[in-house]
Amino acid sequence: MGTAATTAIGIDVSKATFDACLLAPDGTVREKAFPNTPDGFAALLAWADRHAAGATTHVGMEATGGYEDALASFLHAAGRVVSVVNPTRIKYAGVMRGRRNKTDKADARLIAAYTRDERPPAWTPPTPEVRELQALVRRRDDLRQLAAHEKARLESPLLTPAARRSVARVVKLLGKEADAMQKAADALIAATPALAADAELLASIPGVGTQTASTVLAELPSLDRVPTAQAAAAYAGLSPREFKSGASVRGRTRLSKSGNARLRTALYLPTLTAVRFNPVLQGFFDRLVAAGKPKMQAVGACMRKLVMICYGVLKNRAPFDPNWTSRIAT
């Protein structure tokens, strides 16, 4: 899709409204705000078609944790090219362009410029089963995060006995509800043949349990959108980012973290288990530490390796094989 005949539309989405910026091929800029409702979606589509002057439209928006889902699905169903972009990429695009203002209108214009210049890949909605799984898994994680925050309150010396009992009850309730979400996710996977087959493959990897498998199935895009194991690692923000300038300035290589934070977080604890019990990751971790890598940097590299192994068993439709996976590029 060439940029010359394409009208780029950037959308900054919030809970109640969204701002749109249209960049026409002739350089014309148009801006308008809409309610984040079905009526607002229809109004956006009519507005965009009216001002696109027959040019192909490419709509870009940030992944905002769910506020963009309904709009992206509506535009996709209407036959429009829509991209849902990681916010970190937009952020650094703003840095490169010297952005000074941080407003909804300015954000929409930045997203439009990014969409026009970078042409991010088109988004396709997940299947209904995966969308439901994603909702369950994300709710489970949110509940456990809330439970962790409440549990931290127990350390306060200012809590009275009655307040402490209240906090304990809330922690117990949140944990029970989180377990119910995991149980519902497990039932959904078991009732969906494709998900069940994928979960069985993931479970063959030492260190990957039921909870991690459900998160990978919920958060990792379909394999036709992720062409390689390296692309899967990049999607999770686990690609190494080298810092080097000239011949003398060399910083420590770090993970990019420009990817799906939920997937990346879900891989941390399983990786700590895997470096103890998974022969591939155990040997990889030991070699990195023996070479002088800090332990946390070695854990990060093993997280990258683990998501690549997950991708490998799904792509090749074969259970974990230490002899095969040890050859996966690091």
Q: Of 70, 64, 52, 56, give the one whose Cα is nearest residue 12.
A: 64
Q: Are 22 and 88 members of one domain?
A: yes
Q: Are 88 and 110 members of one domain?
A: yes
Q: Are 110 and 172 members of one domain?
A: no
Q: Which residues contact 241 (CB under 8 A, 6 or more apart)?
A: 253, 254, 255, 256
Cα 320 to Cα 272: distance, rounded to the nearest angstrom: 18
Q: How far is CA 278 from the centre of its chain?
A: 25
Q: Are 91 and 201 members of one domain?
A: no
Cα distances (angstroms) measured from residue 192 to each of 204, 228, 286: 19, 25, 39
- Per-residue confidence at 153, pLDDT binned at 50, 70, 90? very high
Q: Are 197 and 327 members of one domain?
A: yes
Cα 118 to Cα 120: distance, rounded to the nearest angstrom: 6
Q: Of 7, 21, 20, give the one whose Cα is nearest residue 52.
A: 7
Beta strands in 126-279 (DSSP E): 240-241, 244-245, 249-250, 254-255
Mean pLDDT of 225-239: 84
Q: Of 311, 297, 139, 107, give the one whose Cα is nearest residue 226.
A: 311
Residue 1 in any domain: the answer is: no
Tens digit of each residue's pLDDT (9 = 90 or more) over 43-76: 999 999 999 877 889 999 987 766 788 999 999 9
Beta strands in the chain (DSSP E): 6-13, 17-23, 29-35, 56-62, 81-85, 240-241, 244-245, 249-250, 254-255
Angle at 160 between CA 159 and CA 165, to 5 degrees: 90
CB of 259 closer than 8 Å to CB of 244: no
Q: Of 85, 86, 96, give the one whose Cα is nearest residue 258.
A: 86
Q: What is the dihedral of CA 316, 317, 321, 324, to 10 degrees?
A: -10
Point out the domain boundary residue: 191, 208, 232: 191
Return the bridge partners of 279, or none.
none
pLDDT over 80 (residue 84): yes
Q: Are 279 and 323 members of one domain?
A: yes
Q: How far is CA 285 from the centre of its chain?
A: 25
Query: Collapsing DSSP states into helix, strand and coil, what is residue 119?
Result: coil
- Structure confidence at residue 261 (pLDDT): 84
Mean pLDDT over each residue of the chain, to the nearest integer = 87
Taking the CA of residue 36 as centre, how many other CA atoms within 13 Å lie in the half-sphere pointing to its CB? 17
Q: Are 214 and 324 members of one domain?
A: yes
Angle at 96 between CA 91 and CA 102, to 5 degrees: 45
The number of domains in the chain is 3
Q: Are 109 and 134 members of one domain?
A: no
Q: Of 10, 29, 28, give the one whose Cα is nearest residue 20.
A: 10
Point out the domain boundary residue: 118, 138, 156: 118
Tell me, what CATH number does 79's domain have? 3.30.420.40
Q: Are 330 and 212 members of one domain?
A: yes
- Structure confidence at residue 3 (pLDDT): 44
Residue 201, phi then psi, degrees to nearest 5: -65, -45
- Structure confidence at residue 98 (pLDDT): 65
- Per-residue confidence at 250, pLDDT binned at 50, 70, 90? very low
Q: Are 293 and 167 members of one domain?
A: no
pLDDT over 70 (residue 320): yes
Q: Are 71 and 87 members of one domain?
A: yes
Point out the domain boundary residue: 118, 141, 170: 118
Tens digit of each residue's pLDDT (9 = 90 or more) over 23-41: 998 889 999 999 999 999 9
- Per-residue confidence at 243, pLDDT binned at 50, 70, 90? very low
pLDDT over 90 (residue 174): yes
Tens digit of each residue's pLDDT (9 = 90 or more) over 273-298: 999 999 999 999 999 999 999 999 99
Provide the residue range defining the domain that includes 301.
193-330
- Structure confidence at residue 244 (pLDDT): 45
